[in-house]
Chain A
Amino acid sequence: MKDTKTVFEYSVKGRRAVDAPARDVPARPLDELIPGGYLRKSPAQLPEISEVDAVRHYTGLSRRNHGVDSGFYPLGSCTMKYNPKINEDIAALSGFANVHPYQPEETVQGCLKLTCRMQEILAEITGMGAFTLQPAAGAHGEMTGLMIMKAFHENNGNSGRTKVIVPDSAHGTNPASAAVAGYDIVEVRSDERGNVDLESLKNVLGDDVAGLMLTNPNTLGLFDENILKISEMVHGAGGLLYYDGANLNAVMGICRPGDMGFDIVHLNLHKTFSTPHGGGGPGAGPVGVKKELGQFLPGPMAKQNGDRYYLEAPGPLSIGRVKSFYGNFGVIVKAFVYILTMGADGLKHASETAVLNANYLMHKLSGDFVIPYKRICMHEFVLSGEKQKENGVSTLDMAKRILDFGFHPPTIYFPTIVKESMMIEPTETESKETLDDFAGTMLQIAKEAAEEPEKVTGAPHNTVVARLDVTLAARKPKLKW
C-alpha cells in the first residue's frame, strides 16, 4: 500500500483553490509601496492545489484520526466526554465568532455579559471568590495561579517562600508550571492508600514553602480523605493551597475546592465542561481565587455596572497580563452553553454517573488486572499491567492491542508511582453497553497476554499504520517536508 500523500505531493504548478477578490483601488507597483530590499526574493513554497484536492486531502486525513465521535476514548485525566454539537453551532454564530477584541464596549455587550456570567458560574461551582478567564489552557492556568501565589507572598513581605510542594502522583505540568513561575519544587510521596503522606508533608512544610499543588481526586482517581488536615497543615505553615482542576468532573455539585480549603483553582474547560480537545487544543484554563486574592488576578476583567458591561484594567497588585486579549473566548462560549444545558442537577448527575461508570468498569476488570489501591475510585482509576508483564506483555503492548478493537487506549505509564500503569477514565457520556464492550476487550487482551502473548506484542494489526518507530523519529529528526 502506498504512503498517504502529503499536501505538498498534490501540488501542481499553476493550480489554485481560491480567487482573490477583485482589487478596485488604483494599483501601484509594489516596490513603490515597500522598498525592494524588504520584498521577498524567493517565494514561500506553499502548495498549489485545487479546492477538491484540499477537501480530499483533509477528509482523508480526518479518516485516519480517532476522536470521541469515532469511539470510546477513556484517556485518564483528560475527561474525553462527548462534545455537544450545539456548543459548536453557538460559538460559530457570527455575533461571537466575528467580533474583534478591541471593538467599542457598546458593540460587544453580549460578549462581555457572557464573560461576566461565566466568571460567576465558575466561582459558584468551585466555591471561589473571583475568576479570570484569561489563561489559554490548564498548564497556563497553573502558571497564572502560581504567579498569583508568588505575588501574594511578596506583597506580604514573604519573598523567602521559594518552594512549591507537589505530590509524586501530580501531573507533569504541576512541577513544570511551578518551575516556570520561578519556584523550586519539593516532592512529597503518597501513602499506602494513595493519599498525600502526612508525615512526608509535615517534614517539608516550613517558612520557605509558598504552597502545595494538589489534584483532588488525585491522578490515582482517589479522593484524598485527609484534605482538611492537609489544608490545616499547609495554612498553618503560612502556605497556600492550589487546586489542579483536571479532575473536577468527579465532584461537581458534590463538593467544592473552595470548601476543601483551596485558595487558588484552575479549571480545564476542555475536560470538565465538554469543549472539544481539538487534537491537542485549544483549551481554556480559567483561574479562580479566594476573595482576598482577587486583587492579584490578571487583567483586564469583565465587570458589570447596572445593565452595562465593561472591561476593568488590572489594579496595582495584579500579576499583569498572561496573554493577549481576554482568553480563549470561543471555548468559553461552548463551556457556557454546556453548563446551561446541564444546570445544577445535570452537573451533579454527570459527576455521579462518571464515578459510577469508573467503579463499574474497575469492578469488571479487577479479576484479571492488578488494582493497586483497593478503594472506591472516583471518575477514573488506575490499574497495573504487572501481571501481564510477567509474561512479557507490557502495558504499551496492551494499549496497542486495544487499538485493534476501535477504542482509544487509556493513559499509560502515568501516574509513574504505579508500575505498568494504565489510567482509565470512562466519563459519564458512555453507555453501559460501551463499558461492557470495552471490559470484554480488556479481558480478551488479558487472556491473549497469558495464552498468545505475541498477538499482543505485535499489535496493532488493524490500524492504518503498524507500530511506529519513535526512536528513529527522535534520533534522525525529520520535522518538515
Chain B
Amino acid sequence: MSRYIPQTDEQKIEMLRETGFSDISELFSEIPEDIKLKRKLGIPGPFSECELMGHLRQLAGNNISTDDHAFFLGAGAYDHYIPSVVKHMVSRSEFYTSYTPYQPEISQGMLQAIFEYQSMICELTAMDVSNASMYDGATALAEAARMACGAARKNTVLVSRTIHPEYRQTLRTYGRFCGFKIIEIDYAQGITDLDKLQDNITDDIAAVLIQSPNFFGAIEPLDEIKPIIGERKIMFIVCADPISLAILEPPGSFGADIAVGEGQPLGNPLSFGGPYLGYFAVKEEHLRKMPGRIVGQTVDSNGKRGFVLTIQAREQHIRRERATSNICSNQALNALAAAVYMSVMGKEGLKETAVSCAQNAQYACDKLVETGSFERVFSAPFFREFVVKSKKPVSELNKKLLENKIIGGLELEKYYPELENCWLLAVTEKRTKREIDLLSSVCEGRCGE
C-alpha cells in the first residue's frame, strides 16, 4: 500500500501476535473513541512516482526561474552562480539524512564541516566566534537584538531604516512579544542619517543595528558609527552581506559586537525564499550569551582530534526557559552548502565574484542613467545593488522587461512610500554586458514595444 513501509501483512500479523495483540486497532485503544476520526482524511493521493513527477513538473513549469530569464531582482536574495560541486557535496546523503550531531563519534563529518563553516564565517566577518547558523538573516538580526537587550537588561534598540523592510518587520514582531522597543533612524542620501543616530543615542539604548551594504545596496560608513556609540554599553550589531565581505572592510574591523547576515548568497539556491541560513558571529566576550549550536574542537580518549557540540549550557534542551534562545533545529545543511561554497570559491574566487558584482552594478547604473530616463537617487557608494528613479512608472518597466525575458528590479515605493518611481536593481556576477545592455534598451523603449 505504501512504498516506504516495508512490513508485509504477514509480518504485521506475526508482530501483533508476538506483542500480544490480535488487531492493529487495539494499539489505539487508549485513545478516547470520541476523538477518533470516523472518516478518511480528505487529501489527494496516493500517487506513483511517475504521476507525481509529471504533476509537479507541470506545477514547477508555471514558475519562471533564473534558467529562463535574466534576473535584476535582489532585495535580500541573490542570483549568484553556484558551482556544481556544492550541490554534489550537499547531496551526500550521509549529511542530509542525519540530524543534529548529538552523538559526536558517528557525526564527525557534519561536526567538522560546521566547525570549518564557523571558521570561515569568522574569517569573512573578522569576528571571534560563529554559531552553527540561524534560520535566516531576519531572525539572526532579531535574535541579536534580543541578545543585546537581555545582556544589558535594557529594552530599546536603534534600527536604521536602511535595514531590509522584512527584517525590520521581523524585529517588530520579536520586539512586541519579547519586550523590546524599536526606534527607527531615518536615512539621508541612502545611508543611515548619522545626526539622527547621534540624537537618539542614550545610555538606555541596548544596541544599534545597521545593515551594510544596506537595503538600497549602499555601503554604510561603519567607521563613523562606533565613535557615535562611544564608551557607552551599547552593542553594535552589523548585518552584512557575506559576499561583499570579500572586498569590503568587515564588521569586526569597525568594532562590531555582533555580525549577522543572510547566508543565502553563499551557495544556496533562491528557492522562493527559503531554506536559507542566517550567520551569527560575536566577539569572544559575548560567547556565553549567544543563541544556537556551536561546534568546538576537542580530543578523544586516545588524544586524537575530534569535534563536538559545545557550550551547551546556553541551550533549550539543558536550560529550558532560561536558555539564551529557543532555537533547536537550525539550517545546518544550508551552512554546509555555504562552507563548501566558501571553500571552492576560495580566497581569490570570492574576491573576484565580489569585484564582478561591483563592476557589473556600476556599469548597469551608468548605462541606465545615460539613457536620460533615470537618475541616481543616492550618492553613497554601492556594492551590487543600486537605486534609480525612473521617469516612467516602475511597474510598467517591469512588465515590458518581463516580455523580454528579464525580471526587473524591486518597486521601492511598496516599502518606502516616499521613494516614488524608485527602482532597486541587483546585478550579480552572472549578468552579462549583453543582458545589461538589453535591460537598458528595453527601458529606453528601443526593444519589445
CB of A277 within 8 A of CB of B98, answer: yes
Interface centre among A7, A73, A414 (most CB of B within 10 A): A7
Known interface pairs A95-B61, A356-B24. Does A282 touch B275 (Cβ–Cβ under 8 Å)? yes
* Stretch of A84-92, A386-394, A443-451 that contacts chain B: A84-92
Q: Among the listed stretches B85-93, B194-202, B225-233, B441-449, which one makes contact with chain A, having 4 or more residues with CB under 8 Å of it?
A: B85-93
Interface hit among A201-209, A234-242, A286-294, A426-434:
A426-434
B404 within 8 A of A: no
With A44-B350, A69-B94, A346-B46: A95-B321 Cβ-Cβ less than 8 Å: no
- Flag B50-74 by CB within 8 Å of A: 1 or 0 each: 0011011101111111110001010
Interface members, chain A 424-460 (any B CB < 8 Å): 428-432, 460
Evaluate contact between B343 and A47: CB separation under 8 angstroms: yes
Kindly provide the distance from the CB of B417 to the nearest chain A CB, expressed in whole angstroms: 14
CA distance A25 to B381 in the complex (A): 19
Q: How far is the CB of B314 from chain A (nearest CB, A)?
A: 11
Q: Which residue of A is nearest B281, CB measured? A: A480
Determine if B421 is an interface residue (Cβ-Cβ < 8 Å): no
Residue of B63, B108, B123 near A464 (CB, 8 A) is: B108
Q: Are B107 and A66 in contact (CB under 8 A)?
A: yes
On whether the beta carbons of A173 and B64 are closer than 8 Å, the reply is no
Partner of A179, one of B41, B44, B322, B402: B322
The distance in angstroms between the C-alpha atoms of A103 and B42, with both chains bound, is 32
What B residues does A3 contact at CB under 8 A? 304-305
Instruction: Let me know if B206 is at the binding interface, CB within 8 A.
Output: no
Q: Are B29 and A125 in contact (CB under 8 A)?
A: no
Known pairs A254-B36, A344-B43; A468 contacts B245 (CB<8 A): no
Taking a contact as CB atoms under 8 Å apart, the answer to whether A40 and B248 are in contact is: yes
A10-36 CB contact bits vs B (8 Å, 1 = yes)? 000001111011011111101001110
Task: Confirm or deny: B393 has a beta carbon within 8 angstroms of a beta carbon on chain A.
Answer: no
- Nearest A residue to B61 via CB reads A95
Query: Are A110 and B92 in contact, with the CB atoms below 8 A?
Result: no
Any B CB within 8 A of the CB of A160: no
User: A478 to B297, Cβ gap below 8 A?
Assistant: yes
Which one of B41, B139, B247, B436 contacts A39 once the chains associate, using CB atoms below 8 Å?
A: B247
Contact among B46, B87, B333, B381 for A343, CB-based, below 8 A: B46
Could you give, for residues 319-334 of chain A, a 1 whenever the CB lies within 8 Å of some chain B CB and a 0 otherwise?
1111111111111010
B27 and A356 contact, CB distance less than 8 A: yes
Residues of chain A lying within 8 A (CB to CB) of residue B99: 73, 75, 78, 80, 277, 279-280
> Which residues of the other chain, A, contact B16 by a CB distance below 8 angstroms?
356
Q: Contact: A279 with B110, CB < 8 Å?
A: yes
Which chain A positions have C-beta within 8 A of B34?
A: 228
Interchain CB contact under 8 A, A321 and B173: yes
Task: Determine how close the nearest CB of chain A comes to the CB of B30; give it in whole angstroms.
Answer: 5
A469 / chain B contacts, CB cutoff of 8 Å:
298-301
Interface mask (A346-371 → B, CB under 8 Å = 1, otherwise 0): 11111011011101100100000000
The reply to whether B108 and A61 contact each other, CB–CB distance below 8 Å, is yes
Tell me whether A93 and B60 are in contact (CB under 8 A).
yes
Q: A83-B96, A136-B274 are in contact. Are A18 and B103 (CB under 8 A)?
A: no
Min CB distance B321 to A, Å, is 4
The interface bits of chain B over 337-361 (1 if a CB of A lies within 8 angstroms of the residue's CB, else 0) are 0011011111111111101101110
How far does the Cβ of A177 sit from chain B's closest Cβ, in whole Å?
Answer: 4
Identify the interface centre among A177, A277, A279: most chain B CB within 10 Å of its CB: A279
Which A240-291 residues have C-beta < 8 A from chain B?
A: 251-256, 259-260, 268, 270, 274, 276-284
C-alpha gap A342/B96 in the complex (Å): 22
Asked if B170 contacts A322 (CB within 8 A), the reply is yes
Tell me if A360 and B18 are in contact (CB < 8 A): yes
A18, B344: Cβ atoms under 8 Å?
yes
A280 touches B271 (CB 8 A): no
Q: Are B304 and A324 within 8 A (Cβ)?
A: no
- For residue A98, CB closer than 8 A to chain B, the reply is yes
A283 and B329 within 8 A (CB)? yes
Residue among A23, A177, A185 making CB contact with B356, cutoff 8 Å? A23
From A38, A270, A321, A353, contact of B381 by CB (8 A): A38
Cα(A477)–Cα(B28), bound, Å = 48
Interface magnitude class on chain A: 35 or more
The reply to whether B67 and A98 contact each other, CB–CB distance below 8 Å, is: yes
Chain B minimum-CB-distance residue to A142: B326
Q: Is A62 an interface residue (CB 8 A)?
A: yes
Q: Are A376 and B83 in contact (CB under 8 A)?
A: no
A308–B72 alpha-carbon span in the complex (Å): 25
Name which residue of chain B comes closest to A121, CB basis. Answer: B43
Determine whether the beta carbon of B105 is less than 8 Å from that of A180: no
Q: Does B122 contact A (CB under 8 A)?
A: yes
Partner of B347, one of A47, A253, A324, A337: A47
Contact partners of A103 in chain B: CB under 8 A: 63-64, 73, 407
A417 interface residue (CB < 8 Å to B): no
A40 to B250, CA, bound (A): 7
CB pair A278 B332 closer than 8 Å: yes
Chain B residues whose CB sits within 8 angstroms of the CB of A276 once the complex forms? 96-97, 333
Contact A345 B274 (CB under 8 A): no
Contact A279 B177, beta carbon cutoff 8 Å: no
User: Does A175 sit at the interface, judged by CB under 8 A?
Assistant: yes
Q: Hey, which chain B residues are within 8 Å of A58, CB to CB?
A: 89, 92, 113, 340
Most buried by B among A102, A324, A464: A324
**In the complex, what's the smallest C-beta–C-beta distance from A58 to chain B, in angstroms?**
4
> Which residue of the partner chain A has the closest CB to B411?
A102
- Assuming A47-B343, A102-B77, A185-B321, is B326 touching A40 (CB within 8 A)? no
B4 touches A274 (CB 8 A): yes
Q: Which of B21-39 contact A (CB under 8 A)?
A: 21, 24, 26-32, 34-37
A41: chain B residues within 8 A (beta carbon): 249, 253
CA distance A64 to B107 in the complex (A): 6
Among B30, B47, B105, B351, the residue within 8 A (CB) of A223 is B30
Residues of B within 8 A of A23 (CB): 356, 359-360
Partner of B138, one of A75, A111, A138, A323: A323
Given contacts A125-B41, A329-B272, A481-B116, contact A17 B31 (CB under 8 A): no
| Complex alpha-carbon distance, A348 and B55, angstroms | 23
Asked, given contacts A7-B116, A110-B62, whether A259 binds B37 with beta carbons under 8 Å apart, the answer is yes
B31 touches A223 (CB 8 A): yes
A28 to B361 CA separation, bound complex (whole angstroms) = 12
B96 to chain A: closest CB distance in Å? Answer: 5
Q: Flag whether B270 is at the interface (Cβ < 8 A).
A: yes
Contact B40 A344, beta carbon cutoff 8 Å: yes
User: A16 touching B346 by the CB < 8 A rule?
Assistant: yes
Known contacts: A17-B83, A18-B83. The answer to whether A324 contacts B358 by CB under 8 A is: no
Minimum-distance CB pairs A-B, first 4: A325-B273, A95-B60, A343-B45, A65-B109
Given contacts A252-B41, A279-B96, A329-B271, 20 further A-B contacts (CB under 8 A): A18-B345, A28-B359, A30-B355, A33-B359, A34-B381, A46-B120, A49-B346, A62-B89, A67-B93, A75-B99, A97-B271, A98-B79, A99-B272, A113-B59, A137-B327, A228-B32, A326-B272, A342-B2, A355-B27, A480-B130
Can you list 19 residue pairs at the A/B interface with Cβ under 8 Å? A47-B120, A55-B85, A58-B113, A65-B95, A69-B94, A75-B99, A92-B87, A93-B57, A100-B270, A121-B43, A136-B275, A173-B316, A179-B321, A255-B36, A278-B336, A411-B102, A463-B106, A467-B105, A468-B300
